[in-house]
């Protein structure tokens, strides 16, 4: 598996959207419901745990100045 640079943009938009939803659930309902959602949504458990347990690593906004071209 390739290690990503901390400044890399999100590469998988579907997973990114699910993670964002999980973070929203975490802020509204707590850690356990968020983890359950992320696992059911297919986000790998190590990713879900890293995101939910490391709030200082949360992405606050998209860092690109312009949209990525479609694939």
**Sequence spans of domains, the chain:** 13-56
pTM summary value: 0.64
Q: Which of 36, 35, 41, 39 is nearest to 53 (CA)?
A: 35
How far is residue 64's CA from residue 50's CA, in Å, rounded to a whole number? 23
Residue range 8-56, pLDDT digits in tens: 555 688 988 999 999 999 999 999 999 999 999 999 999 999 999 886 6
Instruction: Please report the pLDDT score of residue 32 as a whole number.
Output: 95
């Amino acid at each position: 598996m390739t290690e990503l640079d901390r400044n890399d943009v999100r590469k998988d938009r579907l997973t990114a959207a699910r993670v964002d939803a999980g973070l929203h659930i975490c802020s509204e309902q707590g850690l356990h419901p968020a983890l359950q959602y992320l696992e059911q949504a297919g986000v790998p458990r190590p990713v879900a745990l890293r995101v939910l347990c490391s709030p200082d690593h949360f992405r606050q906004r998209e860092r690109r100045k312009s949209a990525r071209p479609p694939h």
